[in-house]
Amino acid sequence: MGTLYLVSTPIGNLGDLTRRAAETLGSVSRILAEDTRRTRKLLSHLGLSTPLVSLHAHNEASRQAAVLGWLSMGEDLALVSDAGTPLVSDPGGRVVEAVLEGGYTVVPIPGPSAVLAALVASGLPSERFSFLGFLPRKGSERADLLERIASSPETTVLFESPERTGALLGALAERCAPHRRAAVARELTKIHEEIVRGTLGVLRDRFAEASPRGEVTLVVEGAPPGEGTAEADEAAARALAGALLDEGMAPSRVAREVARRLKLSRNRAYQVVQDLSEVNGDPDGTEGDG
């Protein structure tokens, strides 16, 4: 029976590829790659010609049968993402699950990770941390995750696109308080690597108009015990109510949902929704909903 190797590849500096990773990429029958063009460049650098098979978000489900077939014939396979550790905000999870259910062995080949690189270089506590990947662009799920970051005592690591980094920093500054410490890491291990450390307020202002270039990883300090509870609750209520209203939910239902999720009084939740409705030009707020 074949083995599936999860091989971590460089996030920028090719010198970070481990000897074990290089040996594995050269010994397997096939490499499952998120982008075969990028992986082919890596193989060329290593002087390898291992066959490549694409495995990305749009064909992962259809690839499962082929992967299981190759493993059943005794072929060893490697799975790589475009950069870093496979499956971390990248496709492959469903294939790994199917491989394990089929009784085959899955072996990690550790190596570069933007999550860990940014965390340890941020200057923030790293004993306990959460990784949330890319937040949704809008909606109640985004509001819920922002509230989770604001209230969590653990350091949080996030991915974000360069053009949306300023907006995310603004949302975090509003929800977590501007004085919460954070770090913006970009182009890690590359020539133009930069790690900007400061408060969320300072970072928000810095990146408000000039978006960072390259891959971005954000690290946010955990909430000190009992800090800004009332302000955080108020900000969370406004953000969640605004997200639910944007989704088209009726105002009175939004108020009930905000009260339920955030454990606010019904009257306070209704006031938050009414205030938002007045700002949006609907002074009646919760009228017109049964």
- Do 81 and 132 belong to one domain? no
Question: Does 67 map to a domain?
Answer: yes
Q: Residue 286 domain-assigned?
A: no
In terms of domains, do 24 and 101 share one? yes
Domain assignment of residue 91, yes or no: yes
> Do 161 and 93 share a structural domain?
no
Whether the CB-CB separation of 186 and 169 falls below 8 Å is answered with no
Is there a domain that residue 160 lies in? yes
- The answer to whether residues 171 and 208 belong to one domain is yes
**pLDDT averaged over 10-residue windows placed end to end, the chain, 290 residues:** 97 96 98 96 96 95 96 98 94 96 98 97 96 92 91 95 95 91 96 96 92 93 72 74 83 84 78 76 44
Helix 140-151 vs helix 229-246: angle between axes, to the nearest 10 degrees? 170
| E runs forming strands in 37-141 | 52-54, 77-80, 105-109, 129-134
Cα(91)–Cα(119) distance, integer angstroms? 22
Domain boundary among 220, 247, 263: 220
Q: Is residue 288 part of a domain?
A: no
pTM: 0.77
How far apart CA 105 and CA 96 sit, in angstroms, is 10
The CATH number of whichever domain residue 120 belongs to comes to 3.30.950.10
Domain of 48?
3-112
Examine the domain organization and report whether 261 and 176 are in the same domain. Answer: no
94 and 61 share one domain: yes
The CATH number of residue 35's host domain is 3.40.1010.10
Q: Domain for residue 9, yes or no?
A: yes
In a domain, 262, yes or no: yes
Question: Three-state SS for 206?
Answer: helix
Helices and strands in the chain: count of H runs, count of E runs: 11, 10
212 and 175 assigned to the same domain? yes
CA-closest candidate to residue 233, choices 192, 193, 261, 200: 261
Residues 17, 53, single domain; the answer is: yes
pLDDT at 285: 46
Whether 151 and 173 map to the same domain: the answer is yes
Q: What is the pLDDT of residue 184?
A: 97
Same-domain check for residues 98 and 183? no
* Number of separate domains in the chain: 3
Question: In this structure, are 98 and 8 located in the same domain?
Answer: yes
Which residue, among 31, 73, 78, has the nearest Cα to 54 in the 3D structure?
A: 31
20-24 — which CB contacts under 8 Å span 24+ positions?
20/109, 21/109, 21/111, 22/46, 22/48, 24/78, 24/109
Q: What is the pLDDT of residue 255?
A: 86
Last residue of a domain, one of 112, 145, 177: 112
Residue 73 lies in a domain: yes
191 and 137 within one domain: yes
Q: Are 159 and 220 in contact (CB under 8 A)?
A: no
Beta carbons of 241 and 271 less than 8 angstroms apart: no
Which of 175, 190, 220 delimits the end of a domain? 220
pLDDT on residue 280: 60
Residue pair 204/169 in contact by the 8 Å Cβ criterion: yes
User: Which two three-digit tokens encode residue 92?
Assistant: 């492959």
Q: What is the pLDDT of residue 232?
A: 58
